[in-house]
Chains A and B, each alone.
Chain A
Amino acid sequence: MFRLTESPRLSEFERQVLPHLDAAYNLARFLMRNDHDAEDVVQEAALRAFRFFESFRGENSRAWFLRIVRNTSFTALKRHHTNEGNVVFDEELHGVENPPMDAGVVLDRAQDRQTVRAAIEALPAEFREAITLRELEGLSYKEIADIAGVPIGTIMSRLARGRRQLQMILNPEAK
Chain B
Amino acid sequence: MTMDHEQIRELISPYLDGELDLLTARETEQHLRNCADCRGVERALRALRETLASSQPAYRAPSRLRKNVRAALRREAKTTERTFNPWVIFATAAACALIVLGAVLFQTTRASRNNALVNEVVADHVRSLLATHLVDVASSDQHTVKPWFDGKIDFAPEVRDLSDEGFPLIGGRLDYLGDKTVVALVYQRNKHPVNVFIMPATADRNTSPSATTRRGYNVLSWIHNGMKYWAVSDLNEAELRRFTELLVR
A interface residue numbers (CB < 8 A to B) = 2, 4, 6-7, 9-10, 13-14, 18, 21-22, 24-26, 29-30, 35, 38-39, 42-43, 46-47, 50-51, 101, 103, 109, 112-113, 115-117, 120, 134-137, 140-141, 156-157, 159-160, 163, 166-167, 170-171, 174
Measured CA separation A167–B55 after assembly (Å): 15
Taking a contact as CB atoms under 8 Å apart, the answer to whether B73 and A22 are in contact is no
A81: min CB distance to chain B, Å: 21
B65 touches A141 (CB 8 A): no
> Do the beta carbons of B60 and A116 come within 8 Å of each other?
no
Which B residues are in CB contact (< 8 Å) with A167?
44-45, 48
A140 touches B19 (CB 8 A): yes
Q: Which B residues lie within 8 Å of A101 (CB)? A: 51
Are B69 and A21 in contact (CB-based, < 8 A)?
A: yes
Q: Which of B74-82, B109-117, B170-178, B215-223 contacts A (4 or more CB under 8 A)?
A: B74-82
Question: CA of A85 to CA of B111 in the docked complex: distance in angstroms?
Answer: 61
Q: Which residues of A contact B51 (CB under 8 A)?
A: 101, 103, 112, 116, 170
Q: Which residues of A contact B74 (CB under 8 A)?
A: 6, 10
A159, B17: Cβ atoms under 8 Å? yes
| Residue contact A10 to B77, C-beta cutoff 8 Å | yes
Instruction: State whether A113 touches B57 (Cβ < 8 A).
Output: yes
By a CB distance below 8 angstroms, the chain A residues around B60 are 22, 25-26
- How many residues in B have their beta carbons less than 8 Å from beta carbons of A? 41
Per a CB cutoff under 8 Å, which of B57, B70, B73, B86 touches A117? B57
- Interface-centre pick from B56, B61, B66, B83 (highest chain A CB count, 10 A): B61
Tell me the nearest residue of chain A to B12, going by C-beta. Answer: A160
A residues less than 8 Å from B12 (CB atoms): 160
Contact between B48 and A109, CB atoms less than 8 A apart: no
User: Are A29 and B59 in touch, CB under 8 angstroms?
Assistant: yes
User: Is the C-beta of B103 less than 8 angstroms from some C-beta in chain A?
Assistant: no
> Which residues of chain A are within 8 angstroms of B55 by Cβ–Cβ distance?
109, 112-113, 115-116
The answer to whether B52 touches A136, judged by C-beta atoms less than 8 angstroms apart, is: yes
Cα A113 to Cα B54 in complex, Å, equals 9
A120 to B81, CA, bound (A): 42
Instruction: Please measure, in the bound complex, the distance between the C-alpha atom of A141 and the C-alpha atom of B17, giving whole angstroms.
Output: 9
- Quote the shortest CB–CB distance from B41 to chain A (angstroms): 9
Are the C-beta atoms of A25 and B59 separated by less than 8 Å? yes
User: How distant is the Cα of A161 from the Cα of B57 in the complex, in angstroms?
Assistant: 19
Chain B 90-120 against A: per-residue CB contact (8 Å), 1 yes, 0 no?
0001000000000000000000000000000
> Are B57 and A120 touching (Cβ within 8 A)?
yes
A-B contact sample (10 more), CB < 8 A, given A134-B17, A136-B58 = A25-B65, A26-B61, A43-B68, A46-B69, A46-B72, A112-B54, A113-B56, A141-B17, A159-B14, A170-B51
Decide yes or no: A7 and B56 within 8 Å by CB, A42-B69, A170-B51 being known contacts: no
B48 touches A30 (CB 8 A): no
Q: How far is the CB of A174 from chain B (nearest CB, A)?
A: 7
Q: Please state if B49 and A135 are interface contacts (CB–CB under 8 Å).
A: yes
Complex contact B54–A42 (CB within 8 A)? no
Contact call A21/B65, Cβ cutoff below 8 A: yes
B222 to chain A, nearest CB (A): 29
Residues of B within 8 A of A117 (CB): 57
Determine if B62 is an interface residue (Cβ-Cβ < 8 Å): yes
Q: Does B13 contact A (CB under 8 A)?
A: yes
Whose C-beta in chain B lies nearest to the C-beta of A137?
Answer: B58
Give the docked Cα–Cα distance between A10 and B89 (Å): 20
Q: B90 to nearest A CB, angstroms?
A: 10
Given known A22-B61, A26-B59, A120-B57, contact A156–B48 (CB-CB < 8 A) = no
25 CB-based A-B contacts, threshold 8 Å: A2-B84, A4-B89, A6-B77, A22-B60, A26-B60, A39-B62, A39-B64, A42-B65, A42-B69, A43-B69, A47-B73, A51-B76, A101-B51, A113-B56, A115-B55, A116-B51, A116-B55, A136-B57, A156-B14, A160-B13, A160-B14, A166-B48, A166-B52, A167-B44, A167-B48
